[in-house]
Amino acid sequence: MSMAGRGMAVLIASLLTSITSTALAQQVEPRTLAPCGAFQTSGFFQDHKLEVQFLLYTPRNPTCAQVIHINQSGSIKSSMFNTSLDTKIIIHGFRVLGSKPSWTENLVEALLDAGEANVVVIDWVSGSTAKYNQAVENVPKLTILLVPLINRFLELGSSLESLHLIGVSLGAHVAGHVGSHFGGRIGWITGLDPAAYKYTRTHPEDRLDPGDALFVDAVHTDTDNFGIRIPVGHIDYFINGGRDQPGCPYITSSPYKYLICDHMRSVAVYINAVRGRCSFVGFPCSSYKEFQEGLCVDCETTQLSSCPRLGRRDALIIPGEFVIHDTPSESQNYTSTVSYKTQDPPKDILLFLLTTAAEPYCAHHILLEFTLSELKDISITMEVQLSSLNSSSSKTKITIPKQTLEGRGLVAHGAHLCLLHQVEIRVMGSRFWRRGPEFSGTLCMTELPMNRRKSMACLPRIISFSGNTRQTFDISEDRRFACP
């Protein structure tokens, strides 16, 4: 064999040896990955002793939970936890059937997509199933277990101000207990329809309240059933008045979904708010009735100068300091900056907003105003329905009391005002044996919030009702309502 041939043979043998050695090494020392953490399950007849898991998600493991432990040396330090990031702690509530909350993965994904963060899901299913009173008794016990977790984060370099606790239903009061333990110095607590039973009449120290964090916001969607009806934060969002939510089923069609739909709508809306699919703007008002009647059309109050948006931290309150806000997008037709007119943290600010009936629940608040041509000795009520090509129609009622010229109403529509193509007005109260009232007037509309630069756009002519009870107007080509 020539020298060249002998050299090639040596090279090939060397390569084969290297490949064989690598394969053997892989067989001897296979690479093992830790399994993804999974929720516990429980059942109605099982022992409901409190057992807790801490499931960590980060930008490095966004879909595979890493179980961390506070009683194992180095567990958190060797995990994916990053002390330079904000930390979101999610606390679920009462679990009737002992199953994993179906919404946790969506909320984790939304939070991680919104910005780099540590997201810790608190799994306490075993202590929150079937027996509500026992779950309530476990709230302070769970708090005792969460405090060392947060202390460990602090020891590793995190700050209390970087923590955001998100509690759902009963979990909102767990967050309040934790915040109270740290003297209200945690940065942010969000309560999603905080639980009512056992908490509505209790002392603020025993439930979520504004003193539990530098900023506490709450979302209310079921105040006539499972959700607490009183304000519990610096600002409280009452979605669709905080009670019955559009799109929820009737009890005859799905009893279980009927029971939980309103309550869990808070979570669904919050997830969409975090994802930025909608700008859920809250309007300060003293009552939902006044809000519906179009009496709260801007954001000026003694404490606010603009409207907060659900899911945003630009409303963060730091006592004794002014607030630094995000820069508003040019595409938004309202001011996104939230300013406070006092250096003291405001509290019990009631915010109202409307949603549509279907995902992602985005709604444009459209104010309707009907002005009579002359005073009448009777009260007039009309139903106004708005239609657009790509959204479901929506409607509201306007009542003009007797000897009053003007009536207002507010409607939630899935499209901008400028995309409407039809307006229908139907006079209420008429019957086939009774003529409807005779009157005339002008219908004007605008999209909220109003400001000094925004004016109302009116239908092009005087509308007259004389026996007829329904009129329809095509505004698709009307420049008064055209998009800018």
Which structure tokens are listed for 196? 């009512």
Helix or strand (DSSP H, E) at 3 = helix 3-28
Q: What is the CATH number of domain 364-481?
A: 2.60.60
Secondary structure class of 370 (helix, strand, coil)? strand
Exposed, middle or buried by CB within 10 Å (0-12, 13-18, 19+), for 246?
middle
DSSP-derived 3-state class of residue 163: strand
**Chain centre distance of CA 476:** 33
Q: Which CATH class is domain 53-353?
A: alpha beta
Ranges in the chain annotated CATH 2.60.60:
364-481
Helix (H) or strand (E) holding 464: strand 463-465
* pTM for the predicted model, two decimal places: 0.86
Q: Where are the beta strands (DSSP E) in 150-234?
A: 163-168, 188-192, 216-220
The three-class DSSP label of residue 176 is: helix
C-alpha–C-alpha distance, residues 121 and 64, integer Å: 12
Strands 420-427 and 470-474: antiparallel
Read off the tokens for 250: 């009737």
Residue ranges of the chain that CATH labels 3.40.50.1820: 53-353
Instruction: Give me the tens of pLDDT residue by residue for the chain, a chain 484 residues long.
Output: 444 444 444 333 443 444 334 443 444 333 345 789 999 887 765 666 899 999 999 999 999 999 999 988 799 999 999 999 999 999 999 998 888 999 999 999 999 999 999 999 999 999 998 789 999 999 999 999 999 999 999 999 999 999 999 999 999 999 999 999 999 999 999 999 999 999 999 999 999 999 999 999 999 999 999 999 999 999 999 999 999 999 998 877 778 788 899 999 999 999 999 999 888 999 999 999 999 999 998 887 767 777 899 998 754 443 433 333 333 333 333 333 444 544 556 778 999 999 999 999 999 999 999 999 999 999 999 999 999 988 889 999 999 999 999 999 999 999 999 899 999 999 987 665 567 788 999 999 999 988 766 678 899 889 999 877 889 999 888 877 777 6
For the chain, the residue count is: 484
Give the torsion through C-alpha atoms of 209, 211, 215, 218, to 10 deg.
Answer: 0
Strand ranges inside 171-254, DSSP E: 188-192, 216-220, 235-239
- CA dist 463 and 370 (Å) reads 10
Residues belonging to the active site? 169, 193, 263
**Residue 135: what residue type?**
A
Cβ–Cβ < 8 Å for 87, 163: yes
